[in-house]
Each structure stands twice: as structure tokens, then as C-alpha cells.
Amino acid sequence: MARVRVQDVVVIEFSWWERPFVLRRTMRLTGAEVDAAEYVDSPMRRRIGPRAGLWITGLLKIGLFGVTDRSVVSVRRGTPAVEIRLRPGSSKVGSVLISTPDAEALAPRIAALTVTAR
């Protein structure tokens, strides 16, 4: 499961088995890149378009999803997620959707980074 840390930047570290599907080891997001952050109670229900990655129906979704507005996704059943929407042009992806048990606490902390960066 990916680990999410928030200090002055958001750092997402993907586990060894997630890396081939998301095509990266870590993501570092500054407050200037983050547009919004939201708690998602049931991330498996999100429609996220075409994919390159792993999708086991009802169990997990990991990879790059979408065509024009790509999303980095690593979610699993029974674990809430935080969705981080990025400012247009700030990154090659438009959003990040990550399951983490701490999602409810992390979402407002990540959203606070956007306020301080503006």
C-alpha cells in the first residue's frame, strides 16, 4: 500500500509491487501544484476511465487511468482514499487517488497546503 506523508510537500511512496503499474517510485507534490484535496469514503466506486495498470473488479485499482486528464490511482476495497487534484499544467497527471487509512485526516492537511501556496 502506498504511504502518504505531508510536511511542506506531499510525498507519496509506492510499494515495490505498485511501482510497475503507476510507473514511478514516489511523487512529490508542492502546495503550488495542488489545487484541492478531498476525502473519498468509497474510492472503488469512482469512475476513472480507460486504464494502463491493474484492475481487479471490486478489489483494487492501481495504475494510470484516463486519456486526456490522466490520474495516478492506487485504491483498494475497504480503505478510504484521498483525492488530490492538481493545477492544470503543473504535472503530467491531473489527479492522484490514493487509499490510505489516514485519508480523513490527510485531506484537510493537504488542502491547507494549497492555501499557503497561493
The rounded Cα 101 to chain-centroid distance in angstroms is 13
pLDDT per residue as tens digits for the range 29-60: 999 999 999 999 999 988 777 778 888 888 99
Distances (CA, A) of 17 to 14, 39, 58, 101: 8, 25, 19, 19
Length of the chain: 118
Residue 61 in contact with residue 48, Cβ under 8 Å?
A: yes
**What is the model's pTM?**
0.90
Please name which of 58, 59, 83 lies closest in space to residue 73, comparing C-alpha atoms: 83
Mean pLDDT for the stretch of residues 3-18 = 95
In angstroms, the CA 116 to CA 48 distance is 29
Asked whether the predicted pLDDT for residue 12 surpasses 90, the reply is yes
State which fold the 3-117 domain adopts.
PH-domain like (2.30.29)
Q: What ranges do the domains of the chain cover?
A: 3-117
Percent of the chain with pLDDT over 70: 97
